[in-house]
Amino acid sequence: EVQLVESGGGLVQPGGSLRLSCAASGFTFSDHYMDWVRQAPGKGLEWLGRTRNKPNSDTTEYAASVKGRFTISRDDSKNSLYLQMNGLKTEDTAVYYCAREKSYSQYSSGWYVYYYYMDVWGKGTTVTVSS
Amino acid sequence: DIQMTQSPSALSASVGDSVSFTCRASQSISNCLNWYQLKPGKAPKLLLSNAATLQSGVPSRFSGSGSGTDYTLTISSLQPEDFATYYCQQSYYTPWTFGQGTKVEIK
C-alpha cells in the first residue's frame, strides 16, 4: 500500500524549532519529487515547498512565507522526507502534510506542457506555536 | 504568484443533487489545474489532474472542465461521502497555489 506518515508535530514556543518527518512506503521514494503543504486552523491549504529527486538535481524550492526559516531535505536510503522549521511564529500553527508529486508531459501546439500533481498525501501532523 | 479564486466558498445541497463550483486563476494556466477533496482528520485526496483527468478510484460522478483561467468541478448526484471541502490548485509554475476552498454541506 502506498503510504505517507508524518510525525514530529507538537507544541513549541515562538522562536523555537521543530523537525517534522514523513515516512514513505509502498513506492520507490527516490523516483519522486516530494512536497510539504500546511493548513492553518480555519484556513485553506498553503504549499510550503518541494524537493526534487536526484536525477533532477535534488534541489529545493520554497514559498516566500517560509524561505529562510524552513528547510526541506530527504534521505532516500530511509525513504524519508524532512521539514526543519526554525524561528517559528504563532502563524505557523497548522496541520502539516507531506505529499508525493508526480508529473507527465504532453506535446501540444508546438511545445511540451508539463503537468504536476500531488497524488498521495499523509494524514498530517499538528504543530502548535504558542507561549 | 498566481492567485486562485474559488466560488462559492460554501454551498448547501442534498443527496442526489448535482453541484458545480468554479476556480479562476489570475492568469492563464493551460489546464495545469488539480482538484482535491479534504475531510477533517483524513489525508487530502486528489480527484482530478490537468483539469479533467479523473484519478484512479475516483467515482465517475466527479468531472472537471475549463480552460485558460476558468475551471469547474462538477459532482453529479451527490453522495453522503461527498460532503467535504474542495480545493483547486494550479501547477503552471511554482509556488503552487490553492484556492480558498468550497465547502459542500448537507442541506
Inter-chain residue contact B46 with A119, CB threshold 8 Å: yes
| Residues of chain B in Cβ contact (below 8 Å) with chain A | 1, 30-32, 34, 36, 38, 41-46, 49-50, 55, 87, 89, 91, 94-101
Q: What is the pLDDT of residues A96-106, one digit of tens each?
A: 999 999 998 88
Q: What is the pLDDT of residues A46-74, one digit of tens each?
A: 999 999 998 888 899 999 999 999 999 99
What lies within 8 Å, CB to CB, of B78 at 6+ separation is: B13, B14, B15, B16, B17, B18, B19, B104
Inter-chain residue contact B95 with A124, CB threshold 8 Å: no
Inter-chain residue contact A45 with B87, CB threshold 8 Å: yes
Burial A102-131 (b: 16+ CB within 10 A, else e): beeeeeeeeeeeebbbbbbbbebbebebee
- Using DSSP's 3-state secondary structure scheme, residue A95 falls into strand
Residue of A nearest to B31 (CA): A115
What pLDDT sits at residue B101?
Answer: 98
Residue A122 has pLDDT above 80, yes or no: yes
Contact present, A129 and A70 (Cβ < 8 Å): no
Interface size between A and B, measured as CB pairs under 8 A: 68
Read off the DSSP letter of residue A27.
S
Inter-chain residue contact B49 with A119, CB threshold 8 Å: yes
Instruction: Give the model's confidence band at A111: pLDDT under 50 very low, under 70 low, under 90 confident, else very high.
Output: confident
Among B88, B55, B97, residue whose Cα is nearest residue A37: B97
Most distant pair of Cα atoms in chain A: their distance:
56
Pairing of strands A94-108, A111-121: antiparallel
Nearest to B95 among A47, A106, A120 (CB): A47
Q: What is the sign of the dihedral through the CA atoms of A71, A127, B4 and A115?
A: positive
Residue of B nearest to A63 (CA): B95
- Using DSSP's 3-state secondary structure scheme, residue A38 falls into strand
Among B61, B3, B44, B8, residue whose Cα is nearest residue B27: B3
Which chain B residues contact residue A63 at CB under 8 A? 95
d(CA B10, CA A89): 30
Inter-chain residue contact B30 with A4, CB threshold 8 Å: no
What lies within 8 Å, CB to CB, of B40 at 6+ separation is: none
Q: What is the pLDDT of residues B38-51, one digit of tens each?
A: 999 999 999 999 99
d(CA A11, CA A91): 13
